[in-house]
Amino acid sequence: MNTVVVDKKDELVMRLVHYFITQKNYSPIVVNGVKNEVWLENVDGPYRIIRINSNYIHNNEQYNYDISKTKNIMHQIKKKTLSFKLNTLNIFLDLNERVKLGEEKNISSIFIDSLSDVKKNNLIKDAFPDIDNNLLDDAKGIDLIINVTNDINEKTAKNNASYENVFKPKKIIVTKILIALCVLVFLLTTYNQNLVYMLANNLEMVKAGEFYRIITSAFVHAGLLHLLVNMYSLYIIGTQVETFLGKRKFIFIYLTSAIVGNLMSLVFNTGFSVGASGAIFGLMGSLLYFGYHYRLYLSTVIKSQIIPIILVNLIIGFTLDGIDNFAHIGGLIGGYLSTMAIGASDQATLKEKINGWIVLILLTIFLAVFSFYK
């Protein structure tokens, strides 16, 4: 089994890639136009990007060119993944001893020549303290190739199954129920106009103890056009959120967005306010958060659809009379934070969820207190 001889650099690359993918949840990035390089990404890793470069760097001029190329690729990744900052670990495997590694902004460059170098390098050990015990170092030749291939394939299959479960079509129930409730309430308010004022959001009424208005107003609409526009938006956006996050999370996000949106409306508005648009903006905020975590699949959708829709609707809300844009903004923030709190599938970390809950609760309390005592 060990008759196949693997080049020393290739062997080191396989061991490093195996560790980062199977132990640290990094994923390969396809980078066009590069050879003998491996690019890996993990949003929650100590380094967002890890680049393993097997090309021979023979002088400082070539090194500087290589850094320039790396920065260019990082810039492309930032645009594609809607990221503001990428900290990168740049690992060189073949470096002339005369080449001086420099410190670049957001790029840490190191030279690794062997497994012992990996275990002795302080930069790697600080970022990945378990690397000594988890490097695959007990296999060589064809055994190494087989072990690395099998482990990475198993990890990839597991990730693909998880992604497939998230994105596969599901039976839509909650979105349809919400639409049915809004239509039913509209029919009732058409029969009895007083119901609009009994259920609408209003500062004085809420301060008088009618707290239910913060929820009920999200199911009331001022006219047929208002209802049709919101229900069409709810069907399009709600279907996506319910599919991606599931029914229970969808209900939580929708109601939380409605509450936060209506609380922000109370802070800035004194009149009556009705409509599901605050909750619908919350669903857009949820998609924004979810899409960031799954940006390898949805980055184009975020840039070309979700963000433009949000911006256009906010601009319309600020330019036309009769639109409660503060409810929209509050709902958008509430949807983003509530999705952060409950987690976007298996992509969220515990720390991120805790931060989401803390900010969401503090924001809700602040808006409630500020509106009641302003």
Backbone Cα Rg of the chain: 26
CA–CA distances in Å: residue 238 to residues 19, 43, 90, 299 = 39, 27, 42, 19
Sheet holding 49-53, edge to edge: 27-28, 37-41, 49-53, 88-92, 107-111
Residues with a catalytic annotation lie at 277, 328
Residue 40 belongs to what H/E stretch? strand 37-41
Residues in CB range of 317: below 8 A, 6 or more apart:
323, 324, 325, 328
Helix (H) or strand (E) holding 291: helix 277-293
Contacts of residue 190, defined as CB under 8 A and 6 or more positions apart, other chains included, come to: none
As separate numbers, helices (DSSP H) first and strands (DSSP E) second, the chain gives 17, 5
Count how many Cα atoms sit within 13 Å of the Cα of residue 354 in the half-sphere of its side chain.
Answer: 3
**What is the phi-psi region of residue 94: left when phi exceeds 0, alpha when psi lies from -120 to 50, beta otherwise?**
beta
